Amino acid sequence: MPPSPPAAADRIFRSEEELARMPASARIRYRLQDARCRHHANDNIAAFVREGELDELKAEVQARVQELLHALVIDTEGDHNTQGTAERLARMYIDEVFRGRYQPMPAVTEFPNAERLNELMIVGPITVRSACSHHLCPIVGRVWIGLLPNEHSNLIGLSKYARICDWVMSRPQIQEEAVMMLANELQQRVRPDGLAIVMEADHFCMHWRGVKDNASAMVNSVMRGAFLKDASLRREFLSLLSRKGQD
């Protein structure tokens, strides 16, 4: 993650005893700031979370959501439908829809390119689910990945592409940034001659609120290496995607 701007010169250094008395969110934030590490909505902060702290964090989130429901004038004590809503939301955010922030990168087995494969390969469509950083509304879409490996590339199993996509997308995201983050992760792991990613997604911040347009979707792409330089390779990749969409 990119570093944050330098902390103030008079930053307070806390002992472990002081940290233990702080809420989990404050302890985690202190470690991040002490390391001058960025912690935006779409950053992974798993390295700064210690054992047992996610349970504490869920309890904090539950308490804050309960305050939100109270501010919305919802009688959670008398309304049987919302009595457990705060706890359910806390579990959903930490364990499910935002788990890509709090869980480390899934284990990915890499294999050497023993046969020196150097032909175009395409993986997808991979179904992805995220949430927009602006309104925390769902983003649901599909991702296609194109790779042109070389003899030095690392090959990974087919299911691992889906795991990496899920890890990157399970955070509050902006689609344009999410695709770049995914491209960076795959570039680092596979080291191909060419990498192409296309994402098409529905944004419920448009469907559910605002303009309430159910027909709109967003499509964006990242092209690197051979896909950026070779127009014929790029056309081949995109044409195979369009054919797949017609099946």
Mapping DSSP to helix (H, G, I), strand (E, B) and coil, where does residue 135 land?
A: coil
Residue 18 confidence (pLDDT) above 90: no
pTM for the structure as a whole: 0.86
What's the sign of the alpha-carbon dihedral 120, 111, 126, 221? Answer: negative
What tens digit of pLDDT does each residue of 31-48 get? 999 999 999 999 999 999
- Rounded to the nearest integer, the mean pLDDT of the chain is 89
What tens digit of pLDDT does each residue of 147-205 get? 998 888 888 888 899 999 999 999 999 999 999 999 999 999 889 999 999 999 999 88
Q: Which fold has domain 112-246?
A: GTP Cyclohydrolase I, domain 2 (3.30.1130)
Predicted local confidence at residue 3, as pLDDT: 56
What are the residue ranges spanned by the domains of the chain? 16-102, 112-246
Residue 130 confidence (pLDDT) above 90: yes
CATH homologous superfamily, domain 16-102? GTP cyclohydrolase I, N-terminal domain (1.10.286.10)
Residue % of the chain over a pLDDT of 70: 91
16-102 and 112-246 share one CATH topology?
A: no
193 phi and psi angles, rounded to 5 deg: -75, -30
